[in-house]
């Protein structure tokens, strides 16, 4: 984990340093708690009862997202990390609702591979409708929804010398019928499309 505070004042830097120290203590098992099996989390890091967790996480990570969604600097300095694809999907849907503009859906073209083990029975055993419902790590979902101005992250190495590698963050700039365009906002190739 990297904690970055380029524009932070002295108080913010101190708070960030204390948070980093606390995270390291947890990782090393050096936290002071009432019970060895529990970690006491500072109250300013907790979500309060009644709060919408997604809204609170997004607002604390990207304050004023609605007004700053097209600001490259605003988007490049923070990220929300999710432990599951389902959590990421929920966060993405919520963020997409905050960004103005039309949503464009892109659909995959799924079929049974006609490899040397292929037989016509496989098409009946694994119809396209079934294949479209499969969700696995490393395989894109059947439907991808995008908007111009939406921040996205590459999940595969496409062209490392052009800065298009796993983890590269971009902002969608154009949505065509079968092609998308995005501007890189992190790494050595910032500003490239």
Residues ≥6 apart with Cβ < 8 Å to 32: 40
- State the pLDDT at residue 170: 92
Q: Model confidence at 184, in pLDDT bands (50, 70, 90)?
A: very high
Q: Model confidence at 7, in pLDDT bands (50, 70, 90)?
A: low
User: For all residues of the chain together, what is the average pLDDT?
Assistant: 83
- Please determine, for residue 137, whether its predicted confidence score (pLDDT) is greater than 80: no
Gap between the Cα atoms of 51 and 44, Å rounded: 14
Residues 29-88: tens digit of each pLDDT: 777 666 767 787 888 788 888 778 888 888 888 888 878 777 778 877 778 888 888 888
User: What percentage of the chain has pLDDT greater than the value 90?
Assistant: 16
Question: Among candidates 153, 155, 156, 131, which has minimal Cα distance to 143?
Answer: 131
- State the pLDDT at residue 3: 52
- Please determine, for residue 140, whether its predicted confidence score (pLDDT) is greater than 80: no
Contact status, residue 147 vs residue 103, Cβ threshold 8 Å: yes
Q: Please, which contacts does 21-29 make with residues 24 or more away whose CB atoms are closer than 8 Å?
A: none
- Please determine, for residue 173, whether its predicted confidence score (pLDDT) is greater than 90: yes
Take residue 23 and report the two structure tokens written for it.
């995270």
Query: What pTM did the predictor assign?
Result: 0.70
């Amino acid at each position: 984990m990297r904690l970055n505070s380029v524009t932070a004042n002295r108080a913010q830097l101190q708070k960030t340093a204390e948070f980093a120290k606390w995270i390291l203590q947890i990782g090393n098992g050096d936290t002071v708690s009432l019970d060895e099996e529990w970690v006491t989390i500072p109250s300013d890091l907790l979500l309060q009862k009644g709060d919408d967790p997604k809204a609170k996480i997004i607002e604390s990570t990207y304050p004023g997202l609605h007004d700053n969604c097209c600001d490259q600097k605003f988007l490049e300095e923070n990220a929300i990390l999710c432990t599951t694809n389902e959590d990421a999907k929920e966060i993405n849907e919520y963020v997409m609702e905050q960004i103005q503009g039309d949503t464009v859906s892109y659909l995959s073209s799924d079929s049974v591979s006609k490899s040397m083990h292929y037989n016509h029975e496989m098409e009946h055993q694994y119809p396209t409708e079934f294949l479209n419902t499969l969700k696995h790590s490393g395989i894109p979902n059947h439907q991808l929804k995008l908007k111009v101005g939406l921040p996205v992250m590459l999940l595969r190495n496409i062209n490392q010398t052009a800065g298009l590698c796993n983890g590269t963050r971009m902002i969608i700039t154009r949505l065509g019928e079968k092609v998308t365009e995005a501007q890189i906002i992190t790494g050595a190739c910032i500003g490239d499309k």
